[in-house]
A and B are shown apart, each in its own frame.
Chain A
Amino acid sequence: MNKGKIISVRSFRGGTGKSNTAANLAAQGALAGKRVGVVDTDIQSPGFHVLFGLNEKKMGKTMNDFLHDKATIREIGFPIHENVGNVAGLSKLKNARIWLFPSSISGRDISQILREGIDFNKLNEGLQTTIAEFDLDYLFIDTHPGLNEETLLSIATSDVLVIILRPDNQDLQGTSVTVDIARSLDVPSLLLMVNKALPKYDPVAVKKEIETLFNAPVAGVLPLSFDMADNASSDLFSLRFPEHEWSKGLRGVAQAILALE
């Protein structure tokens, strides 16, 4: 089996902070000296690239090109560490090794995917080849919220599934479905992360309650943060504000992932 681990970051509903969390977890892994890849499999509504300072102009070949046999995985990998610029948080990745595999933001490419569907053999080949070609220790996958075939595929090939949820009844019900599916697909490791917890909640009590409810470990309870919202996906928050409570919580989740065998 490939030596690199696939970490799938999921949430049942939108707005949980899934992409921000995935990007920051990947960055923390890279800062810890790991070779890390981050892939945006949300082909229908990509946005992951924004967190890494990439725009349509700078974006070269994409996952869409790979899926349509117009590019190899080697050509798609965008070395974040070589393109950090002067952005306060991102620039801390200058000496790290982290590659982004973006999905196209072009309306034409998105419409082509919607119209023609997706070759899952090709998508899976892309995910597995990425690990081998870039000699990755970790490949973080950001997926579309909810459950669709792409997300099920990413869950099925994952070593670790990180489910992000808010302390909200809709999220709790949706997470229950995702946890059941992850168990049905024999995902080796499952971690929960509670995000956007109100300050009045006791993180220890929330952790205990969620762990009891899902019989799964909660790797972190992260606070609802206006600072995070103010960051507006313009930088990697945990690198820019390492002493912020959200960043401390995020580092705890990253450590839990890196500690898994």
Chain B
Amino acid sequence: MPGVFDRLNKELQGKKQDGGITPLDLIDLPPALRKIMRLMLRELQVGYPRLCEIVDAMPAADRMTRDELQSALATLTEQFWLIRIGEGEKAIYKVNLRRKEGSKLMAGVWSALDEKLKDKPE
């Protein structure tokens, strides 16, 4: 029977497909947002309390107030560059990178290539 996890997972997959940040977008982010995204790229997913700990441990020049952090997280979440699971103190954030699209070459090119490679051993 589908449970809460299945529903959340389905919702998450739907959100992932909707957008995501490209590595190129990272360059244009304001410094505070870019810091969070770099952090999230390394951590993959982080709960809000842990995120606060990490930000508090940053060098003074990079540190953010709680308001700044929440504002940055809200901006990144609205863009679906971060995905938030849960709310408030229990929220978990995950980075969402946009898929690199496949080649725009005509489908026939690929089927011809597949045909050529078909008889080759794995």
Contact = CB atoms under 8 A, between A and B. Distances in A.
A106 B23 contact: no
Contact of A114 (B35, B95, B102): B102
Interface in B98-122: 98-103, 110, 113-114, 116-117, 120, 122
Nearest to B114: A111
Nearest to B43: A1
Contacts of A181: 27
Contacts of B61: none
Contacts of A157: 38, 41-42
Nearest to B120: A107
Contacts of B102: 114-117
A118 B100 contact: yes
A120 B22 CA distance: 9
A185 interface: yes
A152 B23 CA distance: 6
Interface stretch (A121-129, A195-203, A207-215, A240-248): A121-129
B23 A120 contact: yes
Contact of A121 (B26, B97, B116): B97
A108 interface: yes
A181 B28 CA distance: 10
A1 B39 contact: yes
Interface residues of B, number: 34
Main secondary structure, interface of A, reads helix
Given A1-B54, A152-B26, A118 B44 contact: no
B24 A186 contact: no
Given A1-B54, A120-B100, A184-B27, A115 B110 contact: yes
A216 B97 CA distance: 30
Contacts of A69: none
A234 interface: no
Nearest to B26: A156
A156 B41 contact: yes
Given A106-B122, A156-B26, A186 B34 contact: yes
Contacts of B16: 121
Nearest to B94: A121
A63 B35 CA distance: 28
Contact of B44 (A124, A149, A150, A184): A124
B99 A119 contact: yes
Interface in A206-248: none
A68 to B, nearest CB: 13
Contacts of B54: 1
Nearest to A106: B122
Given A120-B23, A156-B41, A185-B26, A149 B100 contact: yes
Contacts of B38: 156-157, 185-186
19 contacts: A1-B43, A1-B54, A107-B120, A111-B117, A114-B103, A114-B110, A118-B99, A120-B99, A120-B100, A124-B44, A149-B22, A152-B24, A152-B27, A155-B23, A156-B23, A157-B38, A157-B41, A185-B38, A186-B38
Interface of A: 1-2, 106-108, 111, 114-121, 124-125, 128, 149-150, 152-153, 155-157, 181, 184-186
Interface of B: 16, 20, 22-24, 26-27, 31, 34-35, 37-39, 41-44, 54, 95-103, 110, 113-114, 116-117, 120, 122
Given A117-B103, A149-B24, A152-B23, 12 more contacts: A2-B43, A107-B117, A111-B110, A114-B103, A114-B110, A115-B103, A119-B99, A120-B98, A149-B22, A152-B24, A181-B27, A185-B26
